[in-house]
Amino acid sequence: MKTLVYIDHFKGAVQPSSWEALGVAKKFGSAVAVVFGENANDVAKSAFEYGADEVFVADDSALKDYQAETYASTLSALASTLNPNLILFPTTARTRELAAMSAVDLNTNVMTDLTGLEANGDSFVATRPIYESKLFEKVTCSGKPVIATLRGRAFPKPNQETGKSGTINKVDAKGEAKSTVEGYSASESAVNLGDAGIIVSGGRGVSNNPSLTPPAGLDEKQAEIWRAQQGFALVTDLAKVLGGAVGASRAAVDAGYIPYSHQVGQTGKVVAPDLYIANGISGAIQHLVGMRNAKVIVAINKDADAPIFKAARFGVVGDLFQILPALTEAFKKKLGK
Amino acid sequence: MKIIACIKQVPDSEAKVKAEGGQVSFGDAPLVINPFDEYAVEGALQQKEATNGTVTAICIGPETAKEALKHALAMGADEAILISDPTLNNLDTLGAAKVLAAAIQKIGADMVIFGRQTLDNGAGITPAQTARLTGYPMLGLAGSIKVNERSVTVERVLEEGKQIVKANLPAVISVVQSIGEPRYPSFMGIRKASKAEIPVWSLSDLGISAPSEIIKCDELMTPPARETVVEMITGESPAEIAEKLADKIIAEKVL
């Protein structure tokens, strides 16, 4: 059984679930890693350390920035040559497009966001969440090759064998670009909630600190956002001490407290970290569907009747502006930071 | 400019979805326009206003899916078309893309707008597959759209931040929430929508046969109910509560 594994990276920073996909491929037989774009050679070296038997690299200038059409054409051409049984991707914004387009080229289709994948003879049976994880379905793909994207953190990450290496095969870019990347906006910092093991989140409640006095000259809305930013600073402090990511409820995003890319829930990201700490989040169903599969959920809220407590393992009814900094201090001390 | 908004009808997000006898059941929950697609309609209407264009909403589904199209009409879409055919019971994402691509080519469009994903299947790959089939550029996860003559620039909201991408029209665009809160249907809009005659196209109207189903669902499973009994942490002072809570979290071995 031969599996192509697409290693997804942004300017050399690899989406960790790519390595999880490599681990799954090894379970079925030989694993061929595929790396496109800038800094592809460094990524290729890591791919060997995570178990790739072979690595194919396309670092053509045409592939410098991710571009759906050229990336898909290059991948489809490579798949036609190598004739794998299976192509695996981590599930990211880029790979959903790329897998989708290559499936069109190769006359097959994609099973997305898998939480389980088993071989069955020369076929595969996959498990994936549907209806916002309210249900799961077992699916099969009758096309060849079988194409699948794997949900981050649903499969074990293989151990890294430092120093393990191999021969890197070069391939050329194929296809024609249909769009041009004009640039990146630096206004927003990177947020990768899908891969985060720990998420500390804030909701509307983070803007309600009565003890703060906003700077003079702000109107009511600006003052509210200023208060919320002070609240999110406390959320961020705890996230930093725990090495986690910062999440937010839709209410906080809609109120303009924090960018959309932080949103956990129905119209944001569905996450399943080991630890989720919800601060000032009441727990609307649209938020709960996005985080209820976290291993341990902690809720801090001033309202003892907030629905978030029904989903939580630990709860604190109290003033988050006092509890949160105290919790950050307690972890600093206990974790030796 | 001619804009097509592709929408789907799904069970309301509050629905208690269960697997019953190999079928998905959602009780008496209402069927609604896919919430992500409300943003697609909103994005399409913004471009209609910016370019003095028209918006056509299209939807694959049974006769009852006309209600989702009426929602788009009530928001301000100019026309709506339902694609319905008894052979379309088991469509996978690529099958849906093939049907939509045929409809888009029949209608003709400068811009095709999708929501990021559907609430039911949630794969989020039909927009890119439609783009690949039509040969139009794919601009995914756009938080803003700006048209200039025959080109379009979008700000994509990605894991790493925002990426600004430009392409020629016609293009396929999927939108995220940053596009703006979907407008409420106006009273006039609702009245117009309730009277609208929505044409129904079959596959023979599109000149295609039923696409084969490549991804098949063999089994539905209800996830085991999680038993969470919340343990409330109390104390005399924030410091004491924090101390206890930190110890509890550390004992769970999740750090």
B229 within domain boundaries: no
Say what the pLDDT of residue B162 is.
Answer: 87
- Domain for residue B197, yes or no? yes
Amino acid sitting at position B238: P
Whether residue B81 has pLDDT greater than 70: yes
Q: What is the average pLDDT across A293-305?
A: 95
Q: The complex's ipTM?
A: 0.94
Q: Using CB atoms, pick whichever of A125, A131, A331 lies closest to residue B17.
A: A131
B222 chain-A contacts, CB cut-off 8 A: 135-136
User: Is B75 inside any structural domain?
Assistant: yes
User: B230 at the A interface (CB within 8 A)?
Assistant: yes
pLDDT, residue B206, reads 98
Residue of B158, B169, B179, B216 to mutate when probing chain A, most A C-beta within 10 A? B158
Residue B157 domain flag: yes
Task: Convert the pLDDT of each residue in B229-239 to its tens digit.
Answer: 899 999 999 99
Stretch A234-240: mean pLDDT: 96
- DSSP H/E element including B140: strand B138-148
Write out pLDDT tens, residues B105-139: 999 999 999 999 999 999 999 999 999 999 999 99
Binning pLDDT at 50, 70 and 90, where does residue A186 land? low
Which residues from B are below 8 Å from A184, CB to CB? 160-164
Top pLDDT among A211 and A22 is at A22
Residues of B in contact with A198 (CB under 8 A): 254-255
The answer to whether position B220 is within a domain reads no
Q: Which H or E element spans position A300?
A: strand A296-301
pLDDT, mean of residues A258-286: 90
Closest Cα in chain A, distance from residue B195 (Å): 31
pLDDT score, position A237: 96
Assess whether pLDDT exceeds 80 at residue A108: yes
Nearest alpha carbon to residue A86 among A129, A126, A35: A126
**Domain A193-334 classified CATH 3.40.50.300?**
no
Indicate yes or no: CB of B159 within 8 angstroms of CB of A10.
yes
| Nearest-CA distance B92 → chain A (Å) | 8
For chain A, the structural domain boundaries read 2-170, 193-334
Domain that holds residue B6: 2-206
Q: Do domains A2-170 and A193-334 have the same CATH topology?
A: yes
pTM: 0.92
Q: How many domains does one find in chain B?
A: 1
Q: Give the mean model confidence (pLDDT) for residues A209-231.
A: 92
Question: Could you tell me the two tokens for B97?
Answer: 């893309």
pLDDT of A283 above 60:
yes
Is residue B168 domain-resident?
Answer: yes
Nearest to B114 by CA among B98, B133, B97: B97
Q: Kindly state whether A186 is in contact with chain B, defined as any CB-CB distance less than 8 angstroms.
A: yes
Q: Kindly state the average pLDDT of the residues A323-329.
A: 97
Mean pLDDT taken over chain B = 95
Domain A2-170, CATH: 3.40.50.620
Q: Strands across the sheet with A110-114, in order?
A: A110-114, A146-150, A86-90, A2-6, A30-36, A54-58, A168-170
pLDDT at A93: 92
Whether A247 contacts A263, CB under 8 Å: yes
Question: CATH code at B130?
Answer: 3.40.50.620
A242 interfaces chain B, CB cutoff of 8 Å: yes
Q: Let me know if residue B25 belongs to a domain.
A: yes
Distance in angstroms (rounded) separating the CA atoms of residues B30 and B13: 9
